[in-house]
Amino acid sequence: MALELIDLIAAPLADQFNRPINYLRISVTDKCNLRCVYCMPAEGLPWLPKSDVLSFEEIVQIVRAAARVDVRSIRLTGGEPLVRRDLWKLVEGIASVSGIEDIALSTNGMLLTDQIERLRDAGLTRINISLDTLREDRFFEIARRPGLDRVLAGIDATIAAELAPLKINCVVMRGHNEDEVADLARLTIDRPLFVRFIEVMPVAENVEMQAAGYISSDEILELAASAGELRSVSGPGGNGPARYFAFEGAAGAIGVISPLSHDYCDRCNRVRLTADGRLRLCLFGDQHIDLRTPLRAGASEEDLVALLQGSMAIKPERHHLKLGETSSRMRAFSEIGG
């Protein structure tokens, strides 16, 4: 028995810069039911063939290997993860893996009300919801689809389901929604919400609007402060890179995520599994390893553990994006934030 226990223990993941890697973000699909202006073109993107997308069983196999090397937190993303049928089954499978302590979901909220109870009962622990505006006309302008009422209903359902902390992600864009920053910040006064404002990121699909639309986190904080005095706070638990601030006596807090103006690469604790089974070592980098091919060729759990450990040798120290440059690596803003 002692030998069997020893065999199950593997060295915790840590990269060559001594950063512990204990957080795995999993894209369960590349598809999305919105066409947000900062994320993809109006006509959408070429989707992956179904045969290329990892099955739930394959994802759970990878999670088991990741748990062996001290990964404790999982986040399910997309695209929009709730368009993947029966997502609760994946949550249930991940929740059964020994060592996994946190299963979170990033969603646009459009399909949340019908699925939230089953997801919670399967083992989901918390949710991030995207909300860029409180105006229906602007929602359509940004998302190129209607549905603000469904997103707001999803927020209410999450609070009712007692999945906390509830984080609201807002991409701030000059000329689109910067005049709503104070109103969105005020949501945290009476409700237990953590509204995080994200700098618009330079990806190939938004190259024209990015240069004109970029607003730094420092300016975002100035806009939020017009609603009242803010003080620095520690913020909720989780794995995200946000810096948090709160109004006096507020039930929640606001945060800023600033990958350009104040990058957080020195605190990176994550890797990303794409829907087609590539382990990406940096959101904006070329570095990745293929897990799907060896998995489908019969790789054992020990083989997957070795691949995860070996990947640490190519995880870069930081991204090298600068304002005005673009990257084709990120397919969705659901890949940002924790």
Taking only the tens place, the pLDDT of each residue in 60-87 is 999 999 999 999 999 999 999 999 999 9
* Distance separating alpha carbons of residues 283 and 333, to the nearest angstrom: 11
Most distant CA atoms of the chain, gap in Å: 64
User: Is the whole-model pTM more than 0.85?
Assistant: yes
Cα separation of 26 and 10, whole Å? 21
In this prediction, residues 10-15 reach a mean pLDDT of 87
User: Residue 137 class from Cβ within 10 Å (0-12 exposed, 13-18 middle, 19+ buried)?
Assistant: exposed
Any idea what the CATH number is for the domain that residue 137 is in?
Answer: 3.20.20.70
Distance CA 169, CA 335 (A): 11
CA distances from 79 to 140, 211, 275, 276 (A): 18, 24, 9, 12
pLDDT score for 230 = 97
Residue 219: partners with Cβ closer than 8 Å, 6 or more residues away: none
pLDDT band at 204 (very low <50, low <70, confident <90, very high): low
Average pLDDT rounded to a whole number, residues 265-285:
86
Cis peptide before 165, with omega less than 30 degrees from 0? Answer: yes
Q: Is the Cα dihedral 330, 155, 217, 240 positive or negative?
A: negative
Looking at residue 200, the DSSP 8-state letter turns out to be P
Q: 33-64, pLDDT tens digit by residue?
A: 999 888 888 888 889 999 999 999 999 999 99
Instruction: Please give the distance of CA 182 from its chain centroid, rounded to a whole number.
Output: 24
Domain that holds residue 230: 2-335
Residue 311 makes CB contacts below 8 A (sequence gap 6+) with 271, 279, 281, 289
Q: Please state the domain count of the chain.
A: 1
- Which residue stretches of the chain are H helix? 2-8, 56-68, 87-95, 116-122, 136-143, 148-160, 181-190, 207-213, 217-225, 292-296, 301-311
For residue 1, pLDDT over 60 is answered with: no
Could you give the angle at the alpha carbon of 239 between the alpha carbons of 8 and 129, nearest 5°? 120
Does 329 or 190 have the greater pLDDT score? 190
Residue 104 CA neighbour count, 13 Å, CB half: 25
Range in 112-116, 136-140, 167-171, 266-270 with the lowest mean pLDDT: 266-270
Q: What's the half-sphere exposure (Cβ side, CA atoms, 13 Å) at 24?
A: 29
Burial of 297 (0-12, 13-18, 19+ CB in 10 A): exposed
Evaluate the CA torsion angle 211, 214, 216, 222 in order and state its sign.
Answer: positive
Q: What is the per-residue pLDDT across 314-324, written as a single tens digit (0 to 9) for each?
A: 887 766 555 44
Cα–Cα distance for residue pair 205/210, rounded to 1 Å:
9
